Structure formats: structure tokens, C-alpha cells
Structure 1
Amino acid sequence: MTTNASYGKKLSAGTDFPVMNVTNLDDHTVELGKPRDGSDWQMIVVYRGKHCPICTKYLNNLESKRTTLLDMGVDLIAVSADSKEQLEEHIKDLDVKFSMGYGLSQDQLQQLGVYVSDPRSPEETDHPFAEPGLFVVNQEGKILAVDVANNPFCRPDIETLVNGLQFVKDPDNDYPIRGTHNS
């Protein structure tokens, strides 16, 4: 069945990030959009799930910038609609130290405004899953940066993303949230 309707309303830059909780591998509840451990910003990376080798590569590459992000005050969490068991299996292929959340509900995916796909077969996965999304939330809970894609190969380049965030976080640059003009 094919439809032309988007799944949810896309989140806009400059608006409040929705209040949303996920569970991480340590069975702790994490509130998305609320930076942790002394950070003042949070980067939320929504990925497709364990079935996606492109996601695995992206997350492993993101780990190489984890320390840089933390030094800048950017907390990092990756989340998916996978079950805890699927994440436990996936973590074997990941070499990451940042927080990983699981179990995003269909309602949460809709709130995030990410694209959602159905599995091509039961071997791929057993549930509708999110296509990639990336959100950077500032200390005021506002969405500073948003990137939502409908497939796994359209994501921000990690090096460019981190360099851009370094520029934006520098108070001397007085860089505003972009994309907020209402016509």
C-alpha cells in the first residue's frame, strides 16, 4: 500500500523540542532534549535500527566525535524503535560509548516528525522503523538544528556537522537559530 501522506508534522527550527522519554541499555529513563552530565546542548540521533548497516557505520563514525562534542557541552544520544533485545544484539556491532535508547513508539516517531518505513521482509525487522533524523537542542530546549531524511544515505556529514556546531557554540560568532523566517 502506497500513500503520499507524510507520517508526522515535521519539527521546526527554533521551536520547543517535544517532551519525550526513552529507555537506555542500562534501563534508565532518558528525557530527550534535556542535556545530561553538565552539558548544555543535546544531539539526538534517530537511526533505523540494527538491520541497517549504514546506521551501524554512521554511529561508529559518530563515536569518533563523541569527546569533541562533550568538550563543547553537547550531550549525545542515539535512539531507535528497536526493542531492547534488538539493541543488545546491535551493540555487538557497535563500538560506541554514548547513550543508546530503544523502543521509540509509533506515537513518538510521529511527534519527532521522522519518516517511518515498513520492513521489506521479516528478516529485515519486525516493526515499522524510523528513517534517520538528527536534532540538536540548545539549553533553552529549542531546536537549533534539524535534519530528517527518508532514507539511510541522506544524513549530515559528521565532520561538517561538528565543525558547524563548534562555530555556532562560540559566543563570539553570535550565530542565531537559522530557518525561522515565517512568510
Structure 2
Amino acid sequence: MTEKKLAAGAKFPVLSLPVVAGRDIVLGDAGQLEDRWQLIVIYRGKHCPICKQYLATLEELKSEFAAEDIDVIAVSGDSLEKAKAQVNEGSLTFPVAYNLKLDQMSELGLYISDPRSPEETDRPFAEPALFAVRPDGRVQIIDISNAPFARPDLKAILKGLKFVRAKSYPVRGTH
């Protein structure tokens, strides 16, 4: 059960996670972001066919996000082996972080599910979420779901972030 949620406009927790490419990536660290944004996509894991499709769409839009100085990063609680298979099967070229721990999932306010069977997966996993993090490390957009079928449209997110940046649109939902 999710016990707390990350507030809109709050600092995104600084998390260092291993990436399939063999290095670590730091999420939410304003000192490392410079003038770039991060679009952090939490996916359920290799066992999820809807995630595979969503990550494929993210791959298609990666260059459009990059043109707006937005780095895309996908994150799951999967093992290195499963994350590597996800990258290879999807021909993913953006960073894919793995081994998100339960306490990190909770810190982000994610919904966490137990596997329905050993055939599904071998550990509890995070349900989908999306965070757009500004260069100052604050969260501009938060979308947290408890089901694999409820995810924001990535083209709409791209269009929205272009608008946010062009108009210096404030973080909403902070009342």
C-alpha cells in the first residue's frame, strides 16, 4: 500500500540506480541536470506486455524529447537480466535503470503489487508512473497509476512539456 505521495513541485528524491548500459544514473539531482529535464517512466517489468508497448512508444519519441532538452529514463524493479532482455527485445536506446528497491518505490509514492504467480515475475513490482523533473530537481508532472492500463499519452506529455517550458507554466496542484 502507498503510504505517502510525492507532492507536485517537491524535490524529486535523488536516486542513484544501475543502468543496463553498465553505469549508474542519478535521478532528480539538480546539480547534474544543468539545463536539462528528466522524464522518468516507471514500468512494471519485463513480464508486462503493455509496458513493452509503452517503452516502444517512448523509443519512437525519444529524439523529440531530446530536441526539447528532456532526457528519458525508464526504471523498474527488475533484475539486470530481465532489464537487459527488455532493452534487447525492444531495441531501446535510452537509459533503462533496474533494481528499484521497495523502499525507493515507497519513497516515490508508487503502488506496489505482488506477483500473481512465479510465472509472472519473481518479486513485488511497481505499477506504472511518470515524473517530469525540472532542471532544479522539482517535479513538474506526476502521474501514478495502480493498474497497467492507465498511463498518460506520451505525445500529450511531450506537447504539454513544450507548452510548460515555452510559457514558464507553473507547477499545478500545489494548493
SS at match of 2:163: helix
SS at match of 1:61: helix
- Structure 1 unpaired stretches of 5+: 1-5
1:66, 1:39 → 2: CA distance?
17
In the other structure, the counterpart of 1:177 is: 171
Q: How far apart are 1:32 and its partner, in Å?
A: 0.9
In the other structure, the counterpart of 1:24 is: 19
Q: Whose Rg is larger?
A: 1
Please list the CA deviations of residues 130-167 of structure 1 after superposition, one character each: whole Å capped at 9, or x if unmatched.
00010011011100000000011100011111111111
SS at match of 1:45: strand
- Structure 2 unpaired stretches of 5+: none
Q: How far apart are 1:50 and its partner, in Å?
A: 0.1
Q: TM-score, normalised by structure 1?
A: 0.90
C-alpha RMSD over aligned residues: 1.5
Identity of aligned residues (%): 45
1:48, 1:73 → 2: CA distance?
26
Q: TM-score, normalised by structure 2?
A: 0.94
Q: How far apart are 1:169 and its partner, in Å?
A: 1.1
Show the 5 A alignment for 1:84-123: 84-123=80-119
2:21, 2:74 → 1: CA distance?
14
Contact 2:33 2:135 in 1 (8 A): no
1:37, 1:140 → 2: CA distance?
8
- Count matched residues: 174
In the other structure, the counterpart of 2:161 is: 165
